[in-house]
Structure 1
Amino acid sequence: MDREQEEMQFLGLFGVFTESFKIISSWRKIFSQITLTLILPLSFIYLLHIEVTNLLLHKIFNNAEEMSFTPLGSPRYEKLSDLISSEWATFWLFKIFYFTVLLIFSLLSTSAVVYTVASIYTARDVTFRKVMSVVPKVWKRLMVTFLCVSAAFIAYHIILFLVVFTWAVTIGSTKAGIAVLVILIILFFAGFVYLTIIWQVASVLSVLEESYGVQAMKKSKELIKGKMGLAIVIFLMLNVTFILIQVLFKAVVVTGWKLGSVDRIAYAMLCFLLLSVFFLFGLVIQTVLYFVCKSYHHENIDKSALSDHLEAFLGEYVPLKARDVQLEQYHV
């Protein structure tokens, strides 16, 4: 990372993307190793989940449709009923397996990429072996933050349900009600984006500072002030890209579009590679955005102190102290 921290605050959308690309291209060996070890499995399990979910649901719906034309209480009806119950059990077991593996690889990938970018920022000698020795010690803090964010999302959706229920039993589908519903949808989307951005920055905080969990969320909320517009545009661009990759995979691989098996495999590999690049690029951007926000608030990160604490990861885990990393102000 060639830029001094004082300059980071001036990075806009193009600057953040350019800086992220430079980091990855300059250190492509270690990022390639991280991708092969952590990000490729993450991408594979995500795409596999789409394909398997589609197959399982297709079987369940076909059997349910056949059962609807079968006489109630007949042996065939009972057999289909048992088969559907078994298929639903398989479906939910697969979902539990999927979310568990996805969470593990997501946390490990985030830990590895954030630690690597921070090491590059401090001009430390970073190797893949060092990164992999640090990751198991850091991901637990990320897990706590993830659980806190998940609780916030659950509470947010509960509040949404109560608001929508109140809307439905009061003004409902009247003209005024439709207008209120549109406003509610906009507010819900805005709140969802806001919580997601807080989560992304809080994840970096959980690795590079002593804060994690609710405290990391609070600090993330303060950090993104003043850079919210930039964070929102980055969020939207990344998510549009993510959705396009999913749409491509579902359209040409899952449904096939009358393509042959060779073509479907080729497109599956393309989506697999695109998703892997997307995950890596997104995590680097997430870390660069953290440094941009720190710079904007004039919270100078002492590189030598940060380097010492990154080195401490290799021994007994020592979280980054606020006095060393977070609150040292500089004046422009």
Structure 2
Amino acid sequence: MDREQEDMQFLGLFAILKESYKIIKSCRKIFWQIKLTPILPLTFIFLAHLEISNLLFEEIYRTESEKVSTRPGTKRYINLSNTLSSEWIKFCLFKFAYFTILFILSLLSTAAVVYTVASIYTRLELTFKKVMSVVPKVWIRLMITFSYMLSAFFVYNILFLLVVQFSLGVLPDNVFVGFLFNVVLVVYVMGFVYMTVVWQLASVVSVLESGYGIKAMTKSIYLIKGNRSVAITISFMLNMSFVFLQYAFELLVVEGGSLEAWKRVVLGVVCLVNLLTLFLYGLVIQTILYLVCKSYHHENIDKGDLSDHLESYLGDYEPLIEKDVQLEQYRV
């Protein structure tokens, strides 16, 4: 990364995308190793979960259909009810296991990529073994930040459901209420995207600064100010790309029964490779966006002190005081 931090505040949307690509290209080997270690299992499990979920749900649907057409109170009806309960339990256990593994791998991937990009920025000597030795320690900080963000998302969604319930249950059914509901829905989506951006930037803060949890969330909200439109646009583009690949996989592979088996396999591999690249690219972009936001607020990151902070993960980690990482503002 050849840019001085003072110049990074002027990077726009396409410049951030270009800078992220250059970072990956400059250290191809180590990013490939990261791709194949935490990110490949993450991508594979995500796509496999779509296929397995579809198969499990088809079983539930068939059993439910048979139960509906069976006379209540008969032995067959009771057996179908028991089978249906077992299938739902199996489905829920699978989902719980999937989200647990996805959660662990996503945090490990975030820790590895953010640490790697920051090490490249500070010109630290970097090896894959070093990155992997740091990841478990950084993962704990990310887990705490994620827990707080998950709580915030939970409260936000509950409030939205309460508003929807009030609109449907209390207000009269007319054109104005329909319009009001659409407005609330748009506001909800905008808020959800903004919270996603806060979470993504808070993850970077948790790795590169002393604060994590609520402190990282608060710092993330502050850093986004002034670059909100760029941050939201980047998040929207990445999420839309993710949704497109997911939809393509479900349409062509999961539900592509009319296609020959080898074609489904090839399409599945294409989706896997593209999703793998998207995960890596997105995490690098988040880190570059953090540096851009820091520069915009004239918060100088001294490469020497950031290097010390990163190196501290290699020993017994001791929380750094704020001035060790968060240095004085520079003048432009």
- TM-score band w.r.t. shorter chain: over 0.9
- Tell me the alpha carbon deviations over residues 55-105 of structure 1, each in whole angstroms, 9 at most, x when there is no partner: 100110111001111121222222211111111111011011101100000
Match of 1:245 in 2: 245
Deviation at 1:318, TM superposition (A): 3.3
CA distance in 1 between counterparts of 2:266 and 2:158 reads: 42
Question: How do 1:16-31 and structure 2 match up within 5 A?
Answer: 16-31=16-31
Deviation at 1:166, TM superposition (A): 2.0
- Tell me the alpha carbon deviations over residues 91-138 of structure 1, each in whole angstroms, 9 at most, x when there is no partner: 011011101100000000000000000000001111000000000001
SS across alignment from 1:329: coil
Match of 1:63 in 2: 63
Q: Name stretches of at least 5 consecutive residues in structure 2 with no aligned partner.
A: none
CA distance in 2 between counterparts of 1:262 and 1:290 reads: 42
Task: Report if aligned partners of 1:197, 1:235 keep a CA contact under 8 Å in 2.
Answer: yes
Amino acid at match of 1:140: I
CA distance in 2 between counterparts of 1:127 and 1:18 reads: 24
CA distance in 1 between counterparts of 2:98 and 2:169 reads: 38
Percent identity, aligned pairs only, is 55
Structure 2 vs 1, CA of residues 259 and 171 (structure 1 numbering), >3 Å: closer, same or farther? same
Please provide the CA RMSD for this pair. 1.0
Deviation at 1:305, TM superposition (A): 0.6
Are 1:141 and 2:135 matched, yes or no?
no
Amino acid at match of 1:185: L
Deviation at 1:242, TM superposition (A): 0.4
Task: Report if aligned partners of 2:124, 2:307 keep a CA contact under 8 Å in 1.
Answer: yes
CA distance in 2 between counterparts of 1:24 and 1:221 reads: 27
Amino acid at match of 1:163: V
Match of 2:164 in 1: 164
Deviation at 1:168, TM superposition (A): 2.0
Question: How do 1:102-181 and structure 2 match up within 5 A?
Answer: 102-181=102-181
SS across alignment from 1:328: coil
Amino acid at match of 2:4: E
Amino acid at match of 1:66: E
Task: Report if aligned partners of 1:302, 1:324 keep a CA contact under 8 Å in 2.
Answer: no
- Tell me the alpha carbon deviations over residues 208-233 of structure 1, each in whole angstroms, 9 at most, x when there is no partner: 11111111101100000000000011
- Tell me the alpha carbon deviations over residues 205-259 of structure 1, each in whole angstroms, 9 at most, x when there is no partner: 0011111111110110000000000001101111111011001100110001510
Match of 1:301 in 2: 301
Match of 1:262 in 2: 262
- Between stretches 164-173 and 69-78, larger displacement belongs to 164-173
Deviation at 1:172, TM superposition (A): 3.9
Are 1:292 and 2:297 matched, yes or no?
no
Match of 2:79 in 1: 79
Match of 1:99 in 2: 99
Deviation at 1:322, TM superposition (A): 2.4
CA distance in 1 between counterparts of 2:77 and 2:171 reads: 44
Task: Report if aligned partners of 1:67, 1:77 keep a CA contact under 8 Å in 2.
Answer: yes
Deviation at 1:294, TM superposition (A): 0.2
Amino acid at match of 1:193: V
Match of 2:215 in 1: 215
CA distance in 2 between counterparts of 1:288 and 1:320 reads: 22
CA distance in 2 between counterparts of 1:154 and 1:85 reads: 27
Amino acid at match of 2:218: K
Task: Report if aligned partners of 2:309, 2:325 keep a CA contact under 8 Å in 1.
Answer: no
Match of 1:226 in 2: 226
- Tell me the alpha carbon deviations over residues 121-176 of structure 1, each in whole angstroms, 9 at most, x when there is no partner: 00111100000000000101100100000000111011112212222233242121
Deviation at 1:321, TM superposition (A): 3.8
SS across alignment from 1:153: helix
Task: Report if aligned partners of 1:134, 1:313 keep a CA contact under 8 Å in 2.
Answer: yes
Match of 2:282 in 1: 282
Are 1:313 and 2:328 matched, yes or no?
no
CA distance in 1 between counterparts of 2:261 and 2:190 reads: 41
